[in-house]
Amino acid sequence: MGHLMTGKTAALVLLAALCAAPLGPAETPERELARKILEDKRLDEVRERAKAVMATGFNAGDGYGEVWIRDLATFIDLACEVHPPEKVRGRLLVFFQFQGDDGNVVDGYIPREKANVSYDYRKSAAAPEYLAHKNTVETDQESSLVLAVADYVRITGDRSILDEAIEGVPVAERLGRALQYLREHRFSEKYGLIWGATTADWGDVQPEHAWGVSLDESSHRAIDIYDNALFLVAMGAYLDTVPLDPEKAKAWREFRESLAANARKHLWDAKAGKFIPHLYLDGSPFPKDFDESAVYYHGGTTIAIAAGLLTKEEVRASLECMRENVRAAGAATIGLTLYPPYPKGAFKNKGMAPYSYQNGGDWTWFGGRTIQQLARYGMMEEAYRELEPMVDRVIANNGFYEWYTPDNRPKGSGTFRGETGVLSKAILELRKLAEKSLDETT
pLDDT the model gives residue 440:
87
399 in a domain, yes or no?
yes
Contact 263, 227 (CB under 8 A): no
241 in a domain, yes or no?
yes
- Of the CA atoms within 13 Å of residue 231, those in its CB half-sphere come to 32
pLDDT the model gives residue 27:
83
32 in a domain, yes or no?
no
Q: Which residues of 82-94 are buried (b: 16+ CB within 10 A; e: fewer)?
A: bbeeeebbebbbb
260 in a domain, yes or no?
yes
Per run of 10 residues, the mean pLDDT along the chain (length 442 residues) is 50 48 69 98 98 97 95 98 98 98 98 93 97 97 98 98 98 98 98 98 97 96 98 98 98 98 98 98 96 98 98 98 98 98 97 98 98 98 98 98 97 97 98 96 70
pLDDT the model gives residue 241:
98
318 in a domain, yes or no?
yes
Q: Helices 171-185 and 225-241 sit at what angle, rounded to 10 degrees?
A: 150
367 in a domain, yes or no?
yes
Q: How far apart are CA 171 and CA 245, in angstroms?
A: 16
pTM, 2 dp: 0.94
What's 248's domain CATH number? 1.50.10.10
Number of domains in the chain: 1
| Domain that includes residue 362, residue range | 42-440
90 in a domain, yes or no?
yes
1 in a domain, yes or no?
no
3-state class of 3 per DSSP? coil
